[in-house]
Amino acid sequence: MLKFCQSDRMMTELPFRSRGKRNLRSLHLWLGSFILIALSCSAPPQATAAGTEIAILKSSDLKAYDDAVEGFKATAPGDATYIEYGLRGDLEQGKHLARKIRATNSSLVVAVGLKAALAAKLEIVDIPILYMMILDPIKHRLIADNMTGVLLEIPTDRQFKIMRAFLPTLRRIGMMYDPDKSAPKLKEAVSRASTYEFRLQGFPVEHEKEVPQQLRSLLSESEALWLIPDSTVLTDESIRFILESAVAKQVPVVGFSSEFTRLGALLSMSIDYGEVGREAGLLAKRIVNGEQRLPLNPISVQRVKITVNQKTARHLSVTIPKELDSLIDETY
């Protein structure tokens, strides 16, 4: 049986809501997966080869989860036998399945989505649990001696480093946020901004009706708008308004989805769900092989997808340094 040792954990928060209209259909599809991941909190066994048994507990049947599981299997222990269990969004069913897993010979439990992770934490204490596709692990106290995971957010330092590379003269950054949802994010980002010679200012939005007024203030005081996944700020009605207003005021927008870039943001940084799974698979291999012991800090995805809107760059008279071309995954 694997043994565990003590260490600290760092987790992050990532809520979001949007639906989009006809001309936001792609954004709607992308964000729809995000929303379902946040709210989600079947499966017959699937075997690959005799060897290590790994139980995969899925909160629900989402394509995003399937992509992550596929990525996981691509890098997980090669001799593993996978047994998949589906909650179908039912936490009580998840707890029942977790108890069932506890009675098996599984060497590792992979919890995909919030409800799967909660069920596993409540019912399984003597088998390593590796979670992924969790938007807000700290809020849900996914902390246990036998638990670790892969975070679904790009670390703030890394985002600032990319912003500095693509916008070398940028100094003043504005961020709209709901104090009830994103105050910790702002506090952490403000503490890191000076390291990259940024001055970050938050513009509080307690109700979506406050977005226009706060956006006007932000655009008059900031050199760039940094979007974060805040469901009060980013709504069906506000997304297009925010992007169009910023471009009209010659203020570049930095987003967190390639769809924002397609719709007019200058730059976006995002994470591929398959990449989340691949990182989880590599971590699983190290845990099963005894190279790393739990508890263990959750890890961040190494590969970040960067997209740039060249049309917006020309409109804003922003020149992207040629040496950064190799970092850009897609252009619009």
- What residues make up the domain containing 191? 156-269+305-331
174 and 323 inside one domain: yes
In a domain, 163, yes or no: yes
In degrees and rounded to multiples of 5, residue 57 shows phi and psi of -110, 115
205 and 324 inside one domain: yes
Q: What is the mean pLDDT of residues 287-308?
A: 94
218 and 191 inside one domain: yes
Q: At 12, is the pLDDT very low, low, confident or very high (cuts 50, 70, 90)?
A: very low
pLDDT averaged over the chain? 88
d(CA 72, CA 77): 10
Domain with residue 111: its CATH number is 3.40.50.2300
pLDDT tens-digit series, residues 164-221: 999 999 999 999 999 999 999 999 999 999 999 999 999 999 999 999 999 999 999 9
Largest Cα span, the chain:
63
Q: What is the mean pLDDT of residues 273-298?
A: 95
> Which pLDDT belongs to residue 278?
98
In a domain, 295, yes or no: no
78 and 41 inside one domain: yes
Tokens at residue 4, please? 């565990």
183 and 326 inside one domain: yes
> Which pLDDT belongs to residue 222?
99
> Which pLDDT belongs to residue 36?
52
74 and 145 inside one domain: yes
256 and 108 inside one domain: no
Q: What is the mean pLDDT of residues 219-241?
A: 96
253 and 279 inside one domain: no
Q: Are 54 and 82 in contact (CB under 8 A)?
A: yes
124 and 224 inside one domain: no
Q: How many domains does the chain have?
A: 2
Cα distances from 196 to residues 161, 164, 221, 268, in angstroms, run 7, 7, 19, 18
102 and 163 inside one domain: no
In a domain, 321, yes or no: yes
147 and 69 inside one domain: yes
In a domain, 294, yes or no: no
d(CA 70, CA 93): 23
